Structure 1
Amino acid sequence: MASSTARLRAFRPADTDALVDVCVRTADAGSDATGLLPDDRLWADIYLLPYLERHPDLAFVVELDDASDAAGYIVATDDTAAFAEWFSREWWPSLGRPRASEVPDDAAHALERQLLGRGEQGPDAWAPDGAPAHLHIDLLPVTQGRGAGRALMDLLCAELAARGIAGVHATAGTANAGALAFYPRVGFDALPPDGGGQTFVRRLAQG
């Protein structure tokens, strides 16, 4: 039987639930994070939903012709500093989420505390190596090996370049071997490690 075809398109609000599922199922260094936290949706509240809220025009999805739901996505902001300020001032408080200081300080809650701390602070408000945009990309295993990741990246980068953005960065955890190998393959350069994961930068031709 012929394999299904991966197609790219712009995000639609009706995709949200499917994308939350993709986010959770890839959040543990590319593997399924279901059950790692008391509330699985915390992953999406930090790494997906704020981008869909603030920048739906920079969200693209991949779907397969034999599946009814989106099976991967890329989301981004074109201004990390402004995004981080909005995240902390508006997005995080609007969720009514507990602060990191309210989560038990023990090994069982260490990951939750880490993520909540990031939620309160927002993404790093800087532009490493002159790259003010940043992105998150997640694909279910069924979409991988079809060129969908590269195609999503090129689609987003073309949009950012058309807006005059000089560069985009992404950070991968040191345990995420797939991401560490992926970014150099799609035109990103690795910056010196800073202890908080590996940051990659792709410089963009001005549109």
Structure 2
Amino acid sequence: MTAVLRPYQPVDLAAMYRICLLTGAAGGDATALYRNPDLLAHLYAGPYPVADPGLTFVVVDEHGVLGYVVGTADTLTFETWLDDHWWPTLRAQYPPVDDPGDGTEDHVLVRRIHDWAPADDELYDRYPAHLHIDLLPRAQGQGWGRRLIEALSGALRERGVPGVHLGVDARNTAAIAFYERVGFRRERTHDWGATLVLDL
């Protein structure tokens, strides 16, 4: 079976969680960083197809899901949805914990789950949408990233969304180069990385 890009199906979610972990350390494997392998995707993959499955697309071949893009058309509305529907269960499931001092970072993500709150930003006036994209190494360099971005961009345009943004870790120089090749530009620089934007 040749790899294909298609809309998300609920059966894809477990593979998306796995891919999020395998690409979660500035594009590399984050397995060693987390005792709980689901935490990273609880923040950066899982809620998106639950909140709005029409803005998630996957690449699949005979072995399963190779990569995905998730997005939301309205970041502030999405963050409000998280606060109402997604975080309460996770906050109950994962109480805050101290740094165990063993190099793992579960405590960082758990704290983020508890501290995350809706916050408006002037950036959302022009770029209200945002996305996350992850591809396994064996699917990289074949144009799938570009096609995933195009699929999501098309879906956002159909909804009249003017622009999309994303954040990139400064260490992930390959990702920054990729986004710039497909038309994103740097809007803000942070101590952790950059916010990139794309006009739709």
Per the normalisation by structure 2, the TM-score is 0.90
Tell me the number of residue pairs that the alignment of Structure 1 and Structure 2 aligns: 197
| Residue 38 (structure 1) aligned to one of 23, 35, 47 | 35
Q: Residues 73-106 of structure 1, C-alpha deviation per residue, up to 9 Å, x if partnerless?
A: 000011100111221232011233334xx21146
Answering whether residue 146 of structure 2 is matched by residue 167 of structure 1, we say no
2:160 counterpart SS class: coil
Distance 1:123 1:115, change over 3 A: farther
Alignment partner of 1:23 is 2:10: no
- Consecutive unaligned residues in structure 2, runs of 5 or more: none
Distance 1:77 1:28, change over 3 A: same
Sequence identity percentage: 40
Tell me the amino acid that sits aligned with residue 155 of structure 1.
Answer: A
What corresponds to 2:191 in structure 1? 195
Equivalent residue number for residue 141 of structure 1: 137
Which of 142, 153, 175 lines up with 1:179 in the alignment? Answer: 175
- Report the 3-state secondary structure (helix = DSSP H, G, I; strand = E; otherwise coil) of the residue aligned with 2:27: coil
Structure 2 distance, partners of 1:35, 1:29, is 13
Residue aligning to 2:8: 11
Q: State which of 127, 133, 139 in structure 2 corresponds to 1:131.
A: 127
Cα 1:125/1:142, change in 2 over 3 Å: farther
Q: Provide Cα deviations, 1:142-178, integer angstroms capped at 9, x if missing partner.
A: 1111100000001100110110001000101111122
Indicate the SS of the match to 1:191: strand
From 54, 68, 74, the equivalent of 2:69 is 74
**Matches of 2:79 and 2:131, distance apart in 1:** 13
Aligned-partner SS, 2:105: helix
Q: Greater CA deviation, 86-95 or 180-189? A: 86-95
Find the counterpart in structure 2 of residue 88 from structure 1: 83
Structure 1 vs Structure 2 CA RMSD: 2.0
Per the alignment, residue 57 of structure 2 pairs with 60
Give the ranges of 4+ consecutive aligned residues of structure 1 lying more than 6 Å apart after TM superposition.
Answer: none
Query: In structure 2, how many angstroms separate the alpha carbons of the residues matched to 1:156 and 1:9?
Result: 11
Whichever residue aligns with residue 44 of structure 2, its letter is Y
**Residue 112 (structure 2) pairs with residue 118 (structure 1):** yes
C-alpha distance in structure 1 between counterparts of 2:112 and 2:120, whole Å? 12
Q: Which amino acid aligns with 1:78?
A: A
Unaligned runs of 5+ in 1: none
Give the letter aligned to residue 58 of structure 2.
V
